[in-house]
């Protein structure tokens, strides 16, 4: 029993000494794996439009919805199977108005770092907020003015 407590203690350094004094069964119920992420993820569902940057062939673009977002990345549902390393521009319809009047887009440039079934994770390399524009001359496919 002492050996199993030692293994649990080494595996989950976030546990306090008091948790090990409760017994092996109760300590196992209390343990929490260490958090590896450096940024907190916020579960925000917003409309997303994306396009692949620097393509020589077909222009790939699509729509989706965010699953979560942090200061270092965004996870969203996507229409395409985007390979790891692909450079993207992602425009997210921001849920808060500027001065309670003007719609905003959060425009991100980054690389695909992970792909799961219908979901794409992008590491943010650059971002900016843009005022939302109507579709027309001077706007890009994401509906944001340049």
CATH code assigned at 64: 2.30.110.70
Write the pLDDT tens digit of every residue in 28-45: 444 545 556 578 899 999
Distance (Å, whole) CA 70 – CA 72: 5
Helix spans in the chain (H): 2-11, 17-20, 24-30
pTM of the model: 0.65
User: Does residue 122 share a domain with residue 88?
Assistant: yes
Pairing relation of β-strands 73-77 and 47-52? unpaired
Q: Is-contact 15 9, C-beta < 8 A?
A: yes
The parent domain of residue 125 ranges over 47-131
The pLDDT score that the predictor gives to residue 57 is 72
Name residue 72's beta-bridge partners: none
Domain count for the chain, please give it. 2
User: Does residue 56 share a domain with residue 24?
Assistant: no
The stretches in the chain having pLDDT less than 50 are 1-30, 32, 138-139, 141-142, 144-146
Q: Is-contact 84 114, C-beta < 8 A?
A: yes
Residue 51 lies in a domain: yes
The pLDDT score that the predictor gives to residue 139 is 47
User: Does residue 123 share a domain with residue 56?
Assistant: yes
């Amino acid at each position: 029993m002492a050996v199993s407590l030692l293994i649990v203690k080494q595996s989950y350094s976030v546990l306090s000494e008091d948790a090990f004094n409760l017994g092996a069964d109760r300590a196992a119920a209390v343990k929490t794996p260490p958090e590896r992420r450096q940024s907190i993820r916020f579960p925000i569902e917003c409309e997303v439009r994306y396009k692949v940057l620097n393509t020589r062939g077909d222009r790939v673009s699509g729509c989706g919805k965010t699953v979560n977002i942090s200061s270092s990345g965004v996870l969203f549902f996507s229409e395409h199977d985007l390979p790891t390393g692909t450079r993207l521009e992602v425009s997210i319809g921001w849920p808060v108005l500027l001065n309670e009047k003007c719609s905003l887009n959060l425009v991100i440039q980054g690389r695909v770092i992970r792909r799961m079934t219908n979901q794409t994770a992008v590491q943010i390399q650059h971002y900016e907020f843009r005022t939302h524009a109507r579709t027309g001359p001077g706007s890009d496919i994401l509906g944001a003015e340049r």
